[in-house]
Amino acid sequence: MSNQTLQHFLTTNLKELKEQGLYNEINSIRGPNQPIITIGEKDYINLSSNNYLGLANHPKLIEATIQATQHYGAGAGAVRTINGTMSIHEELERKLAEFKDTEAAIVFQSGFNCNMGAISAIMDKNDAILSDALNHASIIDGCRLSRAKILRYEHSDMIDLEQKAKAAKDSGLYNKIMVITDGVFSMDGDLCKLPEIVAIAKKYDLITYVDDAHGSGVRGHGRGTVHHFGLSKEVDFQMGTLSKAVGVVGGYVAGTQALIDWLKVRARPFLFSTSMTPGSAAACLTSLDLILSDPSLTETLWEKANYFKQGLLDLGFDVGHSETPITPCIIGEETLTQEFSKRLFEKGVYAKAIVFPTVPLTTGRIRNMVTSAHSYKQLDQALQIYKDVKKELGL
C-alpha cells in the first residue's frame, strides 16, 4: 500500500485544482505537430505550437536525424565531460556561435536545463540578480538555485530597474550583480527594452543575461532579439532554445570563450546529465543552416502572423502589445476565457486559455501562435470561428 500521507496530499490537492478550473487536461495528438493536428478522431487548426518556422516536420531535418542516428547511434551514451561529447555536438556549438555572433557556445539538453545550469554556475549567495517580473519560470528557478539575492523589477520598467540597480551597487553587499530578462515575453509577445537595459548595465557594472527562447529564429532576421537591437557584443549571456523556431530540442548559451569554458566545468546539467542525442544535434545543425540561408522562412512567418493579428483587431479583439508572432487575444475574466477556449475547441480551433496564476487576474487570454506553415485559408477559417464564438458569448 502506498504512503497514506502522500495519497491524502495528492487526492486533496488534485480535487482542489479541478474545482478551481486550474487542472490542465493534457491532449495527446496523433501524428506530427503541424498546422492541422489530430486529437482523437477530429482535426483542429493548431494555434498553440512553438514550431514557428514549421521546421519540426521539415524533410531535411528528418533525414539529418536518421543519418546521424545511423552513424552515431540513438544516444550519446555518457555525459559530455566523460565521453558523451561527439564531433557533431562540437559542430553544433560552432554553428550556434556563428548564429549568435559570439566567440563560443555550449549546448544543454533543454532550455530549462540551460537556465538552471548557467545562472547558478556564475551567481552565488554573495551576489544579486535583477530579474524582470514576467521572466519565464526557468529563469525564476535558475535564480533560486543560485542562492543569490533576487531583486525583482517591474516588467520592462527601466526607472524601477535603474533604481534597484543603483541601490544594489551602492549597498556594497554583493560581489556580482546580474540583470536577466526574456528577449521576447512568451505570454504577451512584447520585446524587452534591451538598449536601455544594456545602458543601465554599463552604468552599474551589471552582468547581462538574455533568454531569447522566443526570439531566436523570429527576430533579427532569425538571429534573435540581441541581433535585432545590434547588441551582440554588449550582452554577456545569449541563451536560447532549440525547440521552438529551430524545431528540435535543447538549449544553449552563447558568449565569450572564457564564459563557455567556465560553464563546461561548472554548469551542473552539462556535467551530470547525458548529452543531447546525436540525431537531435544533426537536426539542429540542418535547421540553423536553413534559417541562415533562407530569409523567406522568417519573412513568411511575419506576413502570416501580422495577417492573423490584424484579423483579430478587425473583429474587435484586444491583442495587447505584441511585437512578435505571439498573439494574445485578451478576454479578461478567467471563467469566460476558459469558456472561450472551449468553444473554439468545439468548433475546430486548438488555442489554449492562459489564466491566473500564469498571467495576472482578470487578464486571461487565448494565446495564438501562428507559424509560417499555416495557410491563409486556415487562418481565415480560424478568424471566422473567433467571430462566431465572440457572437455566441455576447462579447
28 HSE (CA, 13 A, CB side)? 2
Q: How far is CA 205 from the centre of its chain?
A: 27
In whole angstroms, give the CA distance from residue 272 to residue 269.
5
In whole angstroms, give the CA distance from residue 386 to residue 363.
18
Long-range contact list for 372-376, CB < 8 A, 24+ apart? 372/52, 372/53, 372/54, 372/297, 372/298, 372/300, 372/301, 372/304, 373/34, 373/35, 373/51, 373/53, 373/54, 373/57, 374/35, 374/45, 374/304, 374/308, 375/35, 376/304, 376/307
Retrieve residue 130's grid coordinates: 535583477
In whole angstroms, give the CA distance from residue 325 to residue 301.
8
Name beta bridge partners: 181: 210
Q: Is 186 a catalytic site residue?
A: yes
One of 131, 146, 156, 186 is an active-site residue; which one? 186
Q: How far is CA 157 from the centre of its chain?
A: 21
Strands 42-46 and 353-354, sheet pairing: unpaired
The backbone torsions φ and ψ at residue 246, rounded to the nearest 5 degrees and listed phi first, read -70, -30
Q: Which of 220, 213, 188 is nearest to 325 (CA)?
A: 188
In the block, cell 544579486 appears at 128
Counting Cβ atoms within 10 Å, is residue 13 exposed (0-12), middle (13-18) or buried (19+)? exposed
Q: Is 214 a catalytic site residue?
A: yes
One of 95, 227, 244, 304 is an active-site residue; which one? 244
Strands (E) across 154-222 are located at 177-182, 207-211
One of 89, 100, 164, 214 is an active-site residue; which one? 214
Retrieve residue 59's grid coordinates: 524533410
Do residues 206 and 85 touch, judged by C-beta distance below 8 A? no
Q: Which residues are catalytic?
A: 186, 214, 244
